[in-house]
Structure 1
Amino acid sequence: MEVTAAVQKAGEIFGYTSLKEEQLLCMTAFIEGNDVFCILPTGYGKTLCFACLPQAFDLLHDNNEDSKSIIIVVSPLTALIKDQVEALRKRKISVGYIDSENEKYVISDVIKGKYSIVMMGPEMLMGKWRGLLASNKVYQKRLVEPYVIALSPDKANVLYAVREVGEYSVIFRYILMEITTKRTLLPRIIIFCKNKGDCGRLYTYFKANMGQEFTDPPGASEQLPDHRLIDMYFQGTEPANFTSPSRLRIVICTVAFGMGVDCSDIRMVIHLGAPSDIEMYVQEVGRGGRDGLPTYALLLNSARLLKNCSKAMLDYCSNARTCRRTVLFQDFEKTGSVSTSTGCDCCDICGKSCNCNSCKSKLQQFYNFMPIMFGIDK
């Protein structure tokens, strides 16, 4: 069996009827013995690039149950690992997660051949696992002149806007009105804050102003997470209610939680303060619009919220003339072309010169207040 055929067959076994070109290139290049450096947009399907590898290797080498391939995946964030493990298990892929608490039990299962994928954090490589991976028992890859696969992170379905923010009551009152009216019908929103303090203040603002409307049904106990319309998360907390069907409509979180979010129907990503650099902002915005539908990226800034930001990030926030997409992705051109989105389908700056005569109605597709955020009234 040829390498390409084995990769495609592995994908089909786990329910992936078709592979994207870059996914296929990544897996094929790796199996052929190349070191691979793959840069793909958030939500593109990078997990698939390693999930199918053990099965593909087994198909190529006619491995039986006693000699099944195993791939070891090292990821820096616990929330992300747990999210991936859960998603892979739903696909009937045998995956184990090793941490300090379950190491002994998982190793026992690995020896028994229970897993095709073993995931762990970098800290687990400091002990016995480091010795194992450095031994002759494992085929070790060395990154020398890697096979590079890259796509621009620019997603055509994302519309960008930047607004100055003062008191919470000024900018978030619109969201407050929407969720009070639409409740569980409000398209999901994720709000990134720079620290736990901002998360807590914003959460308290919504809770205080919504009263009994804070839960669904109204008046239900807010002590039960399943009844909350809005919740707050940060490192060490679980995103389950947001990555599955639930009443939860708005998540207020820090970056640590956001890295673990894998939810296809987030319609708006709000940043209360700019991230430290452009790369981080693009990564976080990528949490929205994974289903390809229009999604809004709204960055709220002030002097306080712009501390410790790179010059490029500050330039993006202060820009008032050039297309935001152009400014945002000018350093990503080598990874692919910038989206051809124009007018009100692009950003708040382009929207001001849009002649489609339906800007307001298009922006109100999911949220009534979006024309205000984009400074558009036509």
Structure 2
Amino acid sequence: MIQTPLESLKKIFGYDAFRLHQQEIVDGLIRGEDAFVLMPTGGGKSLCYQLPALHRPGVGIVVSPLISLMKDQVDSLKAYGVKAAFYNSSLSGTEARKVLARLHGGKLDLIYIAPERLMSREFLERLNDIPIALFAIDEAHCISQWGHDFRPEYRQLGRLRGLFPEIPLIALTATAEAHTRRDILERLGLRQARSYISGFDRPNIRYTVLEKRKPFAQLTTFLQPRYKGTGIVYCLSRQRVEKVAGALTEAGFQAAPYHAGLPAGARKQVQEDFLRDDIRIIVATVAFGMGIDKSNIRWVVHYDIPKNIESYYQETGRAGRDGLPAEALLLFGYGDISLARGLIENSKNPERRRIELHKLNAMVGYAEALSCRRRILLGYFGESLAEDCGNCDICLNPPRLVDVTEDSRKALSCVYRVGQRFGMGHVIDVLRGSQKERVLELHHDRLSTYGIGRNRSQEYWGSLLHHLVHNGFLEQDVGNYSVLKLTDAARPLLRGEQTLSMAEPRVKTETASLTHRRKGGQKARDEYPDDSAALFERLRTLRKKLADMAGVPPYIIFSDASLAQMAAFLPADPEAFQQIHGVGAHKTARYGPDFLEEIRRFIDSSVEKKKNRTQGLPG
């Protein structure tokens, strides 16, 4: 009999140890405590509620935003031998009744459900007769006005804490800056919940930003050496999705479009084909991908700039969920900013419009920056990096640094002189000696900093102010119209006790530079070792065959990371096979014989080839 969550982790899910915070979260939920969890995509959020649901009496109720996500999670749990089901509008009447019968019969460990269905009067009454292990709110940023999804149906979930005061509740997300986190806790009534924040860094993802010139040529240049991998191309409009998908198909790539304007059946078929590796490339609006658990996505391209860093972070995070090297390419054009701004300004809600415009400006700052991408990305979420990452375009191809100490002091002084009550635009107007009516009305033309930066362009001062924000000398108060305020770190710089450098603005790297090499001449990290690459491909072919027979996506059976370990370590028996990362007892019994036989054949074939070469025979 399984005694501890750690034993469950190994026996059921095939993992030897917990990741950061996982054991604390699991143990707390088992004790009946609430929790708020912020973990990066691929960081192991699902296990934080799946394991406690197996160790507490009753059924774990998981609130999930999308039907596709529910199916994905349930298929994965079933592959591990866990009793799971979803209850949503995709089920026929007969199927729905069977799920409810299993629920009332105590035959489910976990059930996935949409928020509006869970909070219906009928389903809430049903729960009065059912032992409940816990409530898990996945993609919890959807509940927040500061989040980027603004899902009204999620707002209803705030009633759960009052309706079921004794049942532990966990809220989970991969993307939430400080305002969003506070909003989630307040709206869900999680005032006593402990927060677990394990960081946002995804070191296996390489971030690259290119100035948009001939975008389709840039895209195909990027894709050609990566034709074996699967990936997503995000576009801002349906029209562009169709155009790019059609052009990729004509160019010989396995690509298909996905957007909300397509018939539901067509969207479902495209998604299924992608999940099962029958299509390599999805070209999509943001309608695609939220919560998709496909672990072997190797790259994500943003053909247009996203509307905010949260979306960018979440969408790039769909690559490399298995921990293997992945890439994120952003094609950045100023015309896209106007398109994104136009979409935002269509909103009739002035508060939402203000928040989203601020977030767009932060996204533009990220794209324009010439310092380590990862530092900026993590800094937006309130996390610092001790040193540059070494795995982004700026780190791999560093720009020339220029001393900006004097100009930084001018900018910081101007922020101070205007009372730390204005945003970037107004500060730049004062620095450059603008005659705008608002500057004159406020008498800011009389300040000592008025016009001291007129020899520099607006773009230069914008880059410098973003640089000061990214490096912690200034902060933008999102909750107060994005005004700039000095931090304690600004004092040494203002007093002349510190110097500061910034990357010199430059023309973005040409498309040929997309295939980077690591520092020190190392081979690109997305290359598998030569001696295991052939076996990896054979195991991937076997996985696809077994997945098609079972009617599930290939990654449900094993992740690319598991296959890579098999190819590297060559397990020869079930005991050794179960030591592979992500291989539990149920998967060893179900899939072990086929994979062990394939590995044995490969070894025998390799031995035979080596013998023939030694004897000078062909083959």
Give TM-score, length-normalised by structure 1: 0.76
Higher helix share: 2
Residue range with higher mean Cα deviation, 16-25 or 295-304: 16-25
The counterpart of 2:373, out of the listed 311, 316, 324, is 324
Distance 1:331 1:191 in 2: 24
Residue range with higher mean Cα deviation, 69-78 or 295-304: 295-304
SS at 2:99 equivalent: helix
Shift of 1:315: 0.7
Check 1:137–1:114 CA distance in 2 against 1; reply closer, same or farther (3 A cut). Answer: closer
Residues 1:170 and 2:217 aligned together:
yes
Check 1:122–1:51 CA distance in 2 against 1; reply closer, same or farther (3 A cut). Answer: same
Distance 1:17 1:38 in 2: 20
Check 1:234–1:10 CA distance in 2 against 1; reply closer, same or farther (3 A cut). Answer: farther
Shift of 1:254: 2.7
The counterpart of 1:190, out of the listed 206, 226, 232, is 232
Question: 1:243 touches 1:262 (CA, 8 Å); kept in 2?
Answer: no
Question: 2:305 touches 2:330 (CA, 8 Å); kept in 1?
Answer: yes
Partner of 1:91: 80
Partner of 1:153: 200
Partner of 1:362: 524
Partner of 2:272: 240
Distance 1:290 1:52 in 2: 20
Larger radius of gyration: 2
Residue range with higher mean Cα deviation, 292-301 or 70-79: 292-301
SS at 1:276 equivalent: coil
Gaps of 5+ in 2: 133-165, 169-188, 342-358, 400-517, 529-619
Check 1:55–1:176 CA distance in 2 against 1; reply closer, same or farther (3 A cut). Answer: closer
Residue identity in the other structure for 2:124 = R
The counterpart of 2:59, out of the listed 60, 67, 70, is 70
Shift of 1:136: 9.6
Question: 1:79 touches 1:259 (CA, 8 Å); kept in 2?
Answer: no
Distance 2:26 2:526 in 1: 41
Question: 1:79 touches 1:257 (CA, 8 Å); kept in 2?
Answer: no
Distance 1:240 1:254 in 2: 17
Shift of 1:47: 1.2
Q: Give the alignment of 1:218-233 within 5 angstroms.
A: 229-233=254-258
Distance 2:31 2:131 in 1: 19
Distance 1:104 1:132 in 2: 13
Residue identity in the other structure for 1:171 = Q
Distance 1:295 1:247 in 2: 20
Residues 1:259 and 2:290 aligned together:
yes
- Cα root mean square deviation, aligned: 3.0
SS at 1:156 equivalent: coil
Partner of 1:12: 10
Shift of 1:170: 2.9
- Note the alpha carbon deviations across 1:323-343, whole angstroms, 9 max, x for none: 111111113345xx537554x
Partner of 1:51: 50
Shift of 1:150: 0.8
SS at 1:161 equivalent: strand
Residue identity in the other structure for 2:521 = S
Question: 1:273 touches 1:301 (CA, 8 Å); kept in 2?
Answer: yes
Distance 2:374 2:300 in 1: 16
Residues 1:311 and 2:361 aligned together:
yes
Partner of 1:352: 397
Residue identity in the other structure for 1:315 = G
Give TM-score, length-normalised by structure 2: 0.48
Gaps of 5+ in 1: 59-68, 215-228, 367-378
Partner of 1:140: 167
Distance 2:526 2:15 in 1: 35
Check 1:293–1:9 CA distance in 2 against 1; reply closer, same or farther (3 A cut). Answer: closer
Distance 1:54 1:363 in 2: 37
Question: 1:269 touches 1:285 (CA, 8 Å); kept in 2?
Answer: yes
Question: 1:156 touches 1:340 (CA, 8 Å); kept in 2?
Answer: no
Check 1:108–1:325 CA distance in 2 against 1; reply closer, same or farther (3 A cut). Answer: same
Shift of 1:234: 4.0
Shift of 1:165: 2.0
Residue range with higher mean Cα deviation, 94-103 or 127-136: 127-136
Highest RCO, 1 vs 2 (Cα 8 Å, sep ≥ 6): 1
Check 1:331–1:33 CA distance in 2 against 1; reply closer, same or farther (3 A cut). Answer: same
Check 1:129–1:201 CA distance in 2 against 1; reply closer, same or farther (3 A cut). Answer: same
- Note the alpha carbon deviations across 1:15-70, whole angstroms, 9 max, x for none: 33332242211111112222100111101121112222232125xxxxxxxxxx21
Residue identity in the other structure for 2:55 = A
Partner of 1:376: none
Residues 1:294 and 2:328 aligned together:
no
Distance 2:66 2:116 in 1: 11
Residue identity in the other structure for 1:255 = V
Partner of 2:501: none
Shift of 1:14: 1.6
